[in-house]
């Protein structure tokens, strides 16, 4: 039986050490609070350990493997390119270790006490933290819950050695010959793209009309075209029914157009969404209100129905994105310190690390019109940009959405190389209330991909230089 010691008193207790939790802990400590952070798994949470970071490492490795095969357009040919997937996984692990070690150093540097264990709320000021040997009680003035989310498991597709979630597929020791991806949001599409680049024959099965919900059709069409070039098969408006595991793989039965079809592969990856980790915390007995989905209800400072308990990240309404969690974490920590900080979801960038990369922020042209705005959409093509051509990445565009009456930018989309890095300028413009003229008058370095944002702004003014 676990031993229990005398209660430990802290100003602020953080439950969960992902991008929401560890950022909340650091910000709270910076503001003078005595902080303890509790995490049952490794520091960094899903994002750093088995999500955002390792998936992008795998995506990049697949992309580099394809590039290593050469490009006849550039006059580069190679006779043979070897792939040692065990070393890919080793490198991916080294990236994760560097970042998680960095998080630990930052927490310690800010004098945050780190506790490993599972937290359970006794009352609105007390939790019990249990590990394999001990139970320790912590009494706090305020608490921020940042326990993140987990992959949704379809009842007819129970996770196993052959039916994998995103963590499982990223931990494979060898490149599969065939892979079925069920669910084509950004997680499934990114990981499917990575393995397609490694040479896997990938079949995507999506229940909706298109892949990558939330991105404009013109953007997703580019991704689908590139996936098909890699030999991938994309089946939309198809409902997965059940899976049969065989000795060496899986048989997935799905329904499309009223008919059942079967596809076989070595593994099936199921990425149909995530559910909040709000169970088994004891929240019900202390009165923290939740929605039917399990998400915790909060106000504009992250405060729950229990005034001294806050919640951030995947466990509250809104997109399950690491940067959203970190943003909310800072607000909650500042609110506890008495600051008037408040959440403003004016712009949250969404990115898919596909080929090409997709990024969207603010309103799309269609969403803006649906919201009653009279808008002007202005685009500039990668094919007309010197840096894009020198990178041999002429596919894509930059698009600005602005209000007709005053030119204020309210949205933007980028499809193309390094869209993930370029979208921030548009986000800054929206936050600052800038106009297309403000962007056009800002001198952008040449030759860069960033110039295309300026060029799109000039197009919006009716004074384009490098396009008709």
**pLDDT tens track for 31-44:** 999 999 999 999 99
Report which of residues 74 and 447 the model is more confident about: 447
Say which of 125, 275, 323, 446 is annotated catalytic: 446
Q: For residue 210, tell me if it sits in a domain.
A: yes
Interatomic CA distance for residues 202 and 354, integer angstroms = 14
Euclidean distance between CA atoms 333 and 146, whole angstroms: 12
Q: What is the mean pLDDT of residues 69-95?
A: 92
pLDDT in tens, 156-169: 999 999 999 999 99
- Reported as a single tens digit per residue, the pLDDT across 346-374 is 899 999 999 999 999 999 999 999 999 99
Is 444 among the residues known to form the active site?
Answer: no
**Could you report the per-residue pLDDT of 383-440, keeping only the tens digit for each?**
999 999 999 999 999 999 999 999 999 999 999 999 999 999 999 999 999 999 999 9
- Are residues 363 and 264 part of one domain? no
Looking at 283, 307, 336, the residue that finishes a domain is 336
Tell whether 108 and 182 lie within a shared domain. no
Last residue of a domain, one of 272, 298, 314: 272
Element (H, E) at 378: strand 375-381
Pair 265, 287 in one domain = no
Q: Provide the CATH number for the domain around residue 408.
A: 3.30.390.30
Task: Let me know: does 302 contact 328? Beta carbons within 8 Å.
Answer: yes
Residues 256 and 302 both lie in one domain: no
Whether residue 327 is predicted with pLDDT greater than 50 in this model: the reply is yes
* Domain identity same for 87 and 111: yes
* Helical spans, DSSP H, in 148-231: 166-170, 186-197, 217-229
Left, alpha or beta for 337 (phi > 0: left; psi -120 to 50: alpha)? alpha
The answer to whether position 90 is within a domain reads yes
Q: Is 468 among the domain residues?
A: no
End residue of a domain, out of 221, 249, 272: 272
Q: What is the pLDDT of residue 82?
A: 94
pLDDT at 3: 54
Domain assignment present for 157: no
Paired with 126 in beta bridges are 123, 139
- Does the pTM exceed 0.85? yes
Q: Name the nearest CA neighbour of 352 among 27, 52, 123, 11.
A: 52
Q: What is the pLDDT of residue 466?
A: 87
pLDDT above 70: residue 58: yes
The answer on 16 and 144 residing in a single domain is yes
- Residue 268's alpha-carbon distances to 154, 174, 445, in angstroms, are 12, 15, 45
Determine how β-strand 126-130 pairs with β-strand 134-145. antiparallel
Is residue 341 domain-resident? no
The number of domains in the chain is: 3
* CA–CA gap between residue 77 and residue 171 (Å, rounded): 31
CATH code for the domain in which residue 23 is found: 3.50.50.60
Give 36: exposed, middle or buried? Use CB within 10 Å, 0-12, 13-18, 19+.
buried
Of 155, 156, 153, 236, nearest to 189 by C-alpha is 236
Q: Are residues 200 and 79 in the same domain?
A: no
Is 156 among the domain residues? no
Q: Clarify whether residues 325 and 395 are in a common domain.
A: no
In a domain, 284, yes or no: yes
**Same domain? 226 vs 143:** no
Tell me: do 126 and 227 sit in the same domain.
no
> Do 308 and 330 lie in a common domain?
yes
Residues 27 and 143 in one domain: yes
Residue 343 domain flag:
no
Domain that holds residue 10: 3-150+275-336
Q: Does the CA dihedral 418-234-380-454 come out positive or negative?
A: negative
Burial string for 109-129 (b: 16+ CB within 10 Å, else e) reads: eeebbbbebbbbbeebbbbbb
């Amino acid at each position: 039986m676990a031993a229990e010691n005398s209660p430990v008193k802290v100003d602020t207790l953080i439950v969960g050490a992902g991008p929401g939790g560890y950022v909340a802990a650091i910000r709270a400590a910076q503001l003078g609070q005595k902080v303890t952070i509790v995490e049952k798994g490794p520091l960094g949470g899903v994002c750093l350990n088995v999500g955002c970071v390792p998936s992008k490492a795998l995506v990049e490795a697949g992309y580099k493997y394809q590039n290593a095969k050469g490009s006849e357009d550039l006059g580069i040919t190679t006779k043979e390119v070897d792939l040692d997937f065990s070393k890919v996984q080793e490198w991916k692990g080294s990236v994760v270790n560097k970042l998680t070690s960095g998080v630990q150093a930052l927490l310690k540097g800010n004098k945050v006490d780190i506790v490993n264990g599972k937290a359970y709320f006794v009352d609105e000021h007390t939790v019990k933290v249990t590990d394999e040997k001990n139970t320790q009680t912590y009494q706090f003035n305020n608490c921020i819950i940042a326990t993140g989310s987990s992959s949704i498991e379809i009842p007819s597709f129970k996770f196993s050695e052959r039916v994998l979630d995103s963590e499982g597929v990223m931990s494979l020791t060898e490149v599969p010959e065939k892979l079925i991806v069920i669910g084509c949001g950004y997680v499934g599409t990114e990981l499917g793209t990575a393995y397609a680049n490694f040479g896997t024959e990938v079949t995507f099965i999506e229940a909706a009309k298109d892949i990558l919900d939330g991105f404009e059709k013109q953007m997703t069409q580019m991704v689908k075209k590139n996936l098909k070039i890699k030999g991938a098969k994309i089946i939309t408006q198809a409902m997965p029914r059940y899976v049969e595991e065989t000795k060496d793989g899986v048989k997935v039965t799905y329904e499309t157009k009223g008919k059942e079809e079967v596809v076989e592969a070595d593994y099936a990856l199921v990425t149909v969404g995530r559910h909040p980790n709000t169970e088994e915390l004891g929240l019900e007995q202390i009165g923290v209100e939740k929605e039917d989905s399990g998400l915790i209800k909060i106000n504009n400072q992250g405060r729950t129905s229990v005034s001294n308990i806050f919640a951030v990240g995947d466990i509250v309404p809104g997109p399950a994105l690491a940067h959203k969690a970190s943003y909310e974490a800072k607000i909650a920590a500042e609110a506890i310190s008495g600051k008037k900080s408040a959440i403003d979801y004016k712009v949250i960038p969404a990115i898919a690390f596909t080929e090409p990369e997709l990024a969207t922020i603010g309103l799309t042209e269609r969403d803006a019109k649906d919201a009653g705005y009279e808008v002007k959409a202005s685009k500039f093509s990668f094919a007309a940009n010197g840096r894009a051509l020198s990178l041999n990445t002429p596919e894509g565009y930059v698009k600005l959405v602005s209000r007709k009456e005053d030119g204020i930018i309210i949205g933007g989309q980028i499809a193309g190389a390094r869209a993930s890095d370029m979208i921030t300028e548009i986000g800054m413009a929206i936050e600052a209330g800038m106009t297309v003229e403000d962007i056009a008058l800002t001198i952008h370095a040449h030759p860069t991909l960033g110039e295309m944002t300026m060029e799109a702004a000039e197009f919006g003014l009716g004074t384009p230089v490098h396009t008709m």
